[in-house]
Amino acid sequence: MACKRGALIVLEGVDKAGKTTQCKKLVQALQQSGRPAEMMRFPDRTTTIGQLISAYLEKKSDLEDHTVHLLFSANRWELVPQMRKKLEQGITLVVDRYAFSGVAFTSAKQGFCLDWCMKPDVGLPKPDLVIFLQLSPAEATLRGQFGEERYGTSVFQRAVQQRFEQLMKEPSVNWQVIRLSEH
Ligand code: NYM
């Protein structure tokens, strides 16, 4: 008997929005309701490409900006066969960041446009749903300092948020915004 394809659900947002916690909760809730579900995250730091990205994020290495953008995309592409297989097996994938983070973070840097940033990810499996966790500036402040990794400044994160807002105008993507209040 052919089983129903799993859904591809992506969680997006700026750093510290709580994506990882919510991904885990969603996977748990889906499993408890009897639906096979697994979590994935990007970057996946376990692969060879992921290790290059991780060293860059941890500021242990420097990479040219276009190069690291393409590595983030390659990290998604290398996992596509695995993703497709699981979806075909009926497993719902809950993914912590996807191509939208790739575009929002790189295009927040000087000299990058959305159009160039989107190109390497064209053709990736399309999410059925993208949940955007919208952190208010007040809540971001309450959550304290961003981490020690690259991109961890509030100025950069605000630029990333603006890029996400531009991406959310794309009507072909099923965006659902969840506003996180201060309490
Ligand atoms: N990031 C993440 C990018 O710059 N491009 C991408 O394509 C992806 C998927 O990596 N600050 C950035 C966003 C985060 C950082 O993510 C690591 P995490 O979820 O903290 O491991």
CATH of the domain at 53: 3.40.50.300
Average of pLDDT values for 28-54? 98
Average confidence (pLDDT) over 19-40: 98
- How far apart, in whole angstroms, are the C-alpha atoms of residue 92 and residue 8? 6
Q: Whose CA is nearest to atom 6 of ligand 1?
A: 102
Give me the phi and psi of 7, to 5 degrees please.
Answer: -95, 150
Domain count, the chain: 1
Does residue 57 line the site of ligand 1, with CB under 6 A?
yes
Query: What's the whole-number average pLDDT of the chain?
Result: 94
* Alpha-carbon span 17 to 57, nearest angstrom: 18
Side-chain half-sphere exposure of 168, counting CA atoms within 13 A: 18
Mutate to test the pocket of ligand 1, among 39, 44, 51, 57 (most ligand atoms within 8 A of CB): 57
pLDDT by residue (tens digit) across 43-72? Answer: 999 999 999 999 999 999 999 999 999 999
16 Rama sector, left if φ>0, alpha if ψ -120 to 50, beta otherwise: left
pTM of the model: 0.96
Q: How far is the CA of 98 from the centre of ligand 1 (A)?
A: 9
Q: Which residues span the domain enclosing 103?
A: 8-178
Residue 118 has pLDDT above 70, yes or no: yes
| Ligand 1 centre distance from Cα of residue 169 (Å) | 21
* Overall average pLDDT of the 136-149 stretch: 76
Does residue 67 sit within a domain? yes
183 lies in some domain: no
Q: Is the ipTM of this complex over 0.95?
A: yes
Please, which residues bridge with residue 41 across strands?
96
